[in-house]
Amino acid sequence: MIRVLIWNEFYHEKFDQDAMKIYPDGIHKTIADFLRSDEELEIRTATLDDENCGISKEILSNTDVLIWWGHMRHDLVPDEAAFMVRDAVLEGMGAIFLHSAHHSKPFRYLLGTSCNLCWRESGDREVLWVTEPSHPITRGIDRYFVLEHEETYGEPFVIPTPDKLLLIGSFSGGEAFRSGCLYERGNGKLFYLQPGHETFPTFKVPEIQTIIRNAVHYVAPSYRQQTTCPKVRNIDCGEPYVDIL
């Protein structure tokens, strides 16, 4: 079983009329519902309203893949919690950052750049182009698919060059964007997916659900271990990993 924790700041869906209509129980609930159809996944959710924003070392140590959606409340996530997420990824936990989570603290701490971008809320049509059809995350997706309306994100997207660019978004307003970015950080894998604005039903689109489900399986850890910095003995002593105290 892959233990998945879906984290949502859960703000717009309580106050914004459009978001409330589309995601009455929160974006995290919609994502949980479609992932629960996968019998290999064990799903939990957490929100900013939970104690310590739903993040602790124990929770993360029992999480194989963390999915993160946030937008207006990034600053309310304590640094301590954000660093816990970063360190868990460095140990090997998988992470998927959705849409406006590009500005979340854990994402920025993992990538080390501003993660700024250009944006516009005009309901552009977005065409998502698959650049890596052989990749497990894009399995089952055709050459491209269309979102009738999405928030426009545009370059420059201030991120390190992705280890793999899996999707490019093109918008009817003219922009192009690196919409599916895969990284390795330490022992962990993290995937950024651009679509997912709160006032459009993006998380109900089958292709988006397929990509998120595929990504959960792909970033799930195969190795999870904190990497330390030991002073070690010469290999001839027969105990090469013994720390010299």
Q: Which residues bind Zn ion (CB under 5 A)?
A: 100, 151, 197
Structure-token pair, residue 19 = 């978001």
Q: Are 130 and 210 in contact (CB under 8 A)?
A: no
Q: Which is nearer to Zn ion, 9 or 151 (CB)?
A: 151
- Residue 66: CB partners within 8 Å, gap ≥ 6? 4, 5, 7, 60, 85, 88, 89, 93, 94, 95, 96
Q: Which is nearer to Zn ion, 189 or 197 (CB)?
A: 197
Q: How far apart are CA 59 and CA 177, in angstroms?
A: 33
Task: Give the nearest distance from C-beta 25 to Zn ion in angstroms.
Answer: 19
- Distances in whole angstroms, Cα of residue 55 to Cα of each of 65, 86, 105, 159, 194: 13, 12, 13, 25, 23
Task: Give the nearest distance from C-beta 100 to Zn ion in angstroms.
Answer: 5
Q: Is the peptide bond before 156 cis (omega within 30 degrees of 0)?
A: yes
Task: Give the nearest distance from C-beta 71 to Zn ion in angstroms.
Answer: 6
Task: Give the nearest distance from C-beta 121 to Zn ion in angstroms.
Answer: 7
| Number of residue whose CB is nearest Zn ion | 197
Q: Which is nearer to Zn ion, 87 or 151 (CB)?
A: 151
Helix or strand or coil: residue 71?
A: coil
Q: Which is nearer to Zn ion, 47 or 100 (CB)?
A: 100
Q: Which is nearer to Zn ion, 151 or 175 (CB)?
A: 151
Q: How far apart are CA 171 and CA 177, in angstroms?
A: 8
- Residue 7: CB partners within 8 Å, gap ≥ 6? 28, 45, 46, 47, 54, 55, 66, 67, 68, 69, 70
Q: Which is nearer to Zn ion, 202 or 214 (CB)?
A: 202
Task: Give the nearest distance from C-beta 48 to Zn ion in angstroms.
Answer: 17
Structure-token pair, residue 197 = 């604005």
Task: Give the nearest distance from C-beta 120 to Zn ion in angstroms.
Answer: 10
